[in-house]
Amino acid sequence: MSSPAVTYFEDVEVGSRHETPAMTVTQAHVNMYAGVTGDHAPEAGLAPPLFALCLSTGLGWRIARPPLVVIAFMGIDWKIERPLRVGDTVRSRSQTMVKRSMREAGVVVEEHQIVDQGGDVLQHGRFTFLVAKKEALT
Amino acid sequence: MTGPPRRYFEEIEVGETYESPGRTVTETDIVLFAGVSGDYNVIHTDAEFMKTSIFGERIAHGLLGLSIQSGLLTRWMTPYASLGVAGLRWKFKNPIKIGDTIRVRAEVTGKKETSADQGVVTLARTVVNQRDEVVQEGETDVIVERRRE
């Protein structure tokens, strides 16, 4: 049985960019998100701001590439520039900014943007991950 | 029509503190959040794989914890006349496991007028579990309406 392909710290390339497929945000998304989390939209017709942030990671999984072997999601530094409206079609763009080797794993910092159908950046910021090393497993 | 009471920028004071009710994070919450967000990472969805991990079991999405604390805090405080969130600086310190009960404590640490009709209130937030261990912490900048004269 072979393991699925994954990306370890050693194979992360600083500067690499990815863009996800787009998704149209519907009232159903907003209702389900609000129901699960208890976090509601500030007004009718808008999505809760954190919902867009949550989509950023979910959309990332739709890129056909071996996923990062994330040990821990360490932190977020995030800015919200424009509201996400029901009916907007958004995609996520990311770029690897920094990789820093630690003893048994490595830190990877990615810049993420949530972009709407008109190309406007709604939200953006940095995600910091702790990523497994190949050598630590052998 | 007057809605429920809301607090305007001028009425919020630096140093105010809030504490939310608790909420037990269930397997159902994690499964539903995977469906809503599209994040099916194995660390949240593959129980067998996670038996072999340092956590020993599936853990909640960090962003589920972030979203839940946002909802929790608004349940036990008079809501701000808020226009949304301008930004956040957030750290995931410890995993949230199935069955953990989390709550959030918050303090107003800053206020800044940004225009004639709104300002930004900064809240330092600490999310703790049933053992009072910090699972997440950070700051959020909330945009709040100024009272119209």
Q: What's the pLDDT tens digit per position in B29-87?
A: 999 999 999 999 999 999 999 999 889 999 999 999 999 999 999 888 889 998 889 99
- A3: in domain: no
What stretch of H or E contains B32?
Answer: helix B27-37
Quick check: A83 contacting B, CB < 8 Å?
A: yes
Strand pairing partners for A99? A108
- A33: in domain: yes
- A2: in domain: no
Query: Is the dihedral angle over the CA atoms A25, A36, B136, B52 positive or is it negative?
Result: negative
Q: What is the pLDDT of residue A137?
A: 57
Decide if B39 and A70 are in contact by the 8 Å CB cutoff: no
Four-point Cα dihedral A67, A69, A74, A75, nearest 10: -10
3-state DSSP helix/strand/coil percent for chain A, to nearest 5?
20, 40, 40
Task: Quickly tell me which residue has 């990671």 as its tokens.
Answer: A57
Beta strand B23-24 pairing with A105-115: unpaired
CB < 8 Å to B74, chain A: 38-40
- B1: in domain: no
CB < 8 Å to A83, chain B: 84
Of A36, A40, A50, the CB nearest to B66: A50
Number of domains present in the structure of chain B: 1
Q: Is the ipTM of this complex over 0.95?
A: no
Strand pairing partners for B127? B104, B136
Mean pLDDT on B9-22: 97
- A108: in domain: yes
The pLDDT profile of chain A, 138 residues, written as one tens digit per residue, is 456 688 999 999 999 999 999 999 999 999 999 999 999 988 899 999 999 999 988 898 888 888 888 888 999 999 999 999 999 999 999 999 999 999 889 999 999 999 999 999 999 999 999 999 997 654
| Residues 6+ positions from A89 with CB-CB distance below 8 Å | A22, A23, A24, A25, A116, A117
Decide if B36 and A32 are in contact by the 8 Å CB cutoff: yes
Exposure class string for B117-136: b at 16+ Cβ within 10 A, else e: ebbbbbbbbbbbbeeeeebb
Q: Residue B15 gets which letter from DSSP?
A: T
CA B13 to centroid of chain Cα atoms:
20
CATH of the domain at A84: 3.10.129.10
Give SS3 for B63. helix
d(CA A18, CA A31): 29
Q: What is the DSSP string of A11-77?
A: G--TT-EEEPPPEE--HHHHHHHHHHH----SSTTB--HHHHHHHHHHHHTTSSSPPB-EEEEEEEE
List, in sequence order, every beta strand (DSSP E) within B20-148. 23-24, 82-92, 101-113, 118-128, 134-145
Decide if B39 and A58 are in contact by the 8 Å CB cutoff: yes
Quick check: A82 contacting B, CB < 8 Å?
A: no
Quick check: A33 contacting B, CB < 8 Å?
A: yes
Strand pairing partners for B124? B107, B139
Quick check: A40 contacting B, CB < 8 Å?
A: yes
**pTM, to two decimals:** 0.93
Q: Domain limits at A20?
A: 9-137
Decide if B86 and A71 are in contact by the 8 Å CB cutoff: no
Report whether A77 contacts B89 (CB < 8 A).
yes
Average pLDDT, chain B: 94
- A4: in domain: no
List, in sequence order, every beta strand (DSSP E) within B32-133. 82-92, 101-113, 118-128
- B129: in domain: yes
- B3: in domain: no
Q: Domain limits at B133?
A: 9-145
- A54: in domain: yes
- B19: in domain: yes
Number of domains present in the structure of chain A: 1
